[in-house]
Structure formats: structure tokens, C-alpha cells
Structure 1
Amino acid sequence: MKDSSPAITLQRATEQHIDGLAALYSDPRVSRQALQLPYQTLDNWRKRLGPGVDYERSLSLVALHQGEVIGNCSLEQNPRVRRSHCASIGMGVASAWQGQGVGTRLLAAVLDVADNWMGLQRIELTVFTDNQPALALYKRHGFEVEGHLLDYALRDGVFADVYSMARLKRRQG
């Protein structure tokens, strides 16, 4: 039986993906769930991916469909020595591709690197409390809610709550 799902590839984000990343996070349906301002400039994305990035302590992946950036997931190891066993995750998926497994593939790939290549023990993230699809995704990958942070971030002119979530490797099977 032939697989009818569209071909999606994962790659490390590079300068060739800057336009696609800027477009992804300029979509209000994506940027409202991420902790960054909409309408980021291409120069801001160049700084995130250009010289000075510690590629030993960070990984930014893009999901591509026919060369178009349809998702992104980043992992950043904590630079503090006593917290070097920890990293944080941020991600976004194009609204047209949400619910189609893109986030699952990105998150699984980043967690594989965290577990099997970086030896990280604790992965942390924050997620808006009303983002049920993201909460379900993170819980499927072993993340647990550790706290409820009130008025954490301004979103759409209103302060919104987030959950602080973490995945501890020692608790994984």
C-alpha cells in the first residue's frame, strides 16, 4: 500500500531557512502561541542562526514540505554549569499543518538528540494553558505540568497564564 501522506523532511535550520522562519512566526495564529513578537526582521533570524550560535549546546530544526518551512523546534541547553543537564524547548507549526504530525516529528527528533547525543536529563518548556493541542503533544512525549504561572505573558492585549512543564529522563521507561 502506497503512503499518501505528503513528504516532510527535517533539517537543521540554517540561513537558507531564514525567510521561511520569519514567515512562519509572522502568522498571528503561530506567533500568538510563541513567546516572541510577531513581525521579526530577517536580521533577527540571521542573529539566531548565524555566527555566535553555540551549535554544541543548541539545535534548531525545521520541518519542510516541498522546500517550504512548515514547522520549527529548538532545543537550547542551559549555559550555567550547575544546570547544564537541562534544556528548554520552543516550537511552532504552520496553522495549515497543525494536527498532521509535524509537531510530533519535530519534538521526537529534538528529544532524541537531547537523550542520545547531549545526555540531557531535564527538558523544560512553557505552554499557554488554553493551547490544548500542544498540551496533549507534550504529555504524549512525557512532559508533566510542574506549575501554573499566572499572567505570564501578554497575548492579544491580555495577560495569559502558562503551564511550566518538564520531562525528566530518569522517569522515562
Structure 2
Amino acid sequence: MSVREIKISDTENLVHLIRQVEEESDYMLMEAGERQITAEQQRTRIETMKNSENSTVFVVEKDHKLIGYLFAIGGTARRTKHSVYIVIGILKDYRGQGIGTKLFKRLEEWAREKSLHRLELTVVIRNEPGVALYKKMGFEIEGTKKDSLFISGEFVDEYYMAKLL
């Protein structure tokens, strides 16, 4: 199993992986089938991120198959360039096996190399494994977004979490 920065040649596999993660998870922003991104749109997004000083995508590959990803989306204004917003997804069959920890360790190495200062994310409060992972990796709860998402017919809260480097 390897954690690495994404390559342009991973584009189609990443599109498939994101859709599969969204089908398997109750806590992603988009519901199963909602995302309509094409491989070409995703390729453009990856190219843009790879050309950015403060954005990237890490993927986890096992047996030549992508099984997880972490997007680090850097701020674009001068006042937010020190900060990245994180989106992570891991296939259901591979959760709880240390993959998230490996992704966050690689993210932190990269962020320090880039002299970034703030890592941030949001997480549904009832996503206990996610909250536990983020706390384990040094993230702290900064606040609560009340009724932030509408999932399965009800409003749910999210934590706003961050880690300062």
C-alpha cells in the first residue's frame, strides 16, 4: 500500500473512487449519484491543483487500485494562502486500517514543506470514527455549524476542526 501525490493518469480512477466513496458513506457532502463531474473536468482540476503552491491530492493505492484520497485545497486570497481545506474519502472495506492516519501524516509533511500554517475541515458530529481520527491527528474543534447539512430527512450539525502547524 502506498500513499502518493496524484498523477494525471489517475484521473479516471479517481472519478470512480470518489463516486464509490459517496455511495458507501452517509457523511460526504454529496449523496450517491449527485456528483456529475466528468473525467475531463477532474483532469483540469487536478492539473490546476498540481500547479498550485498550496493545493494537492494524495491517493492511497493498493494492488494497483485507488482505495482512498485526500484533497488539500489551498486558499486563493493572499490572506488565506497559508491555509488548506481538507476533504478525505476511503473505501468502506479499508476504513479502520490506518489509511486515514497515513494520509494525514503525508499531508502534514507536504504542508510543512510548503510552509503552510493551518489545516482545516468539517465533519458531521455523529461521524465518530472521523472525529476520532482528526483528534488523534491533532485537530481541535473550533466550533459547531448548526443544521449544516440535511441528511436522510433531518438536519445535522458539523464540527469545524483545525490544526495549526
TM-score > 0.5, shorter chain as reference? yes
* Distance change >3 Å, CA 33–CA 18, structure 1 → 2: farther
Q: d(CA) in 1 for partners of 2:155 and 2:41? A: 25
The answer for the alignment partner of 2:27 in structure 1 is 33
Query: Secondary structure of 1:120's partner?
Result: coil
Q: 2:17 aligns with which of 24, 46, 50?
A: 24
Deviations 1:10-30 (A, max 9, x none): 121123222322222222123
* Distance change >3 Å, CA 167–CA 154, structure 1 → 2: same
* C-alpha contact 2:59 2:69 (8 A) present in aligned 1: yes
Matched letter for residue 24 of structure 2: R
Identical amino acids, percent of aligned pairs: 30
Is 2:32 the counterpart of 1:73?
no
Matched letter for residue 160 of structure 2: S
CA positional deviation for 1:37: 4.8
Q: 1:147 aligns with which of 136, 143, 147?
A: 143
Q: d(CA) in 1 for partners of 2:28 and 2:46? A: 18
Residues 7-156 of structure 1: pairs in structure 2 closer than 5 A: 8-27=1-20, 28-30=23-25, 32-39=26-33, 40=35, 41-50=38-47, 52-53=48-49, 54-115=51-112, 117-156=113-152
Q: d(CA) in 2 for partners of 1:20 and 1:97? A: 17
Q: d(CA) in 2 for partners of 1:68 and 1:113? A: 23
Aligned residues: 159
Q: d(CA) in 1 for partners of 2:62 and 2:116? A: 30
* Distance change >3 Å, CA 103–CA 46, structure 1 → 2: same
Structure 1 vs Structure 2 CA RMSD: 1.7
Of the structure 1 ranges 41-50 and 97-106, higher mean CA displacement relative to structure 2 is found in 41-50
* C-alpha contact 1:74 1:110 (8 A) present in aligned 2: no
* C-alpha contact 1:59 1:110 (8 A) present in aligned 2: no
* C-alpha contact 1:59 1:75 (8 A) present in aligned 2: yes
Matched letter for residue 109 of structure 2: D
- Segments of 5+ residues of structure 2 without an aligned counterpart are none
Q: How high is the TM-score relative to the length of structure 2?
A: 0.87
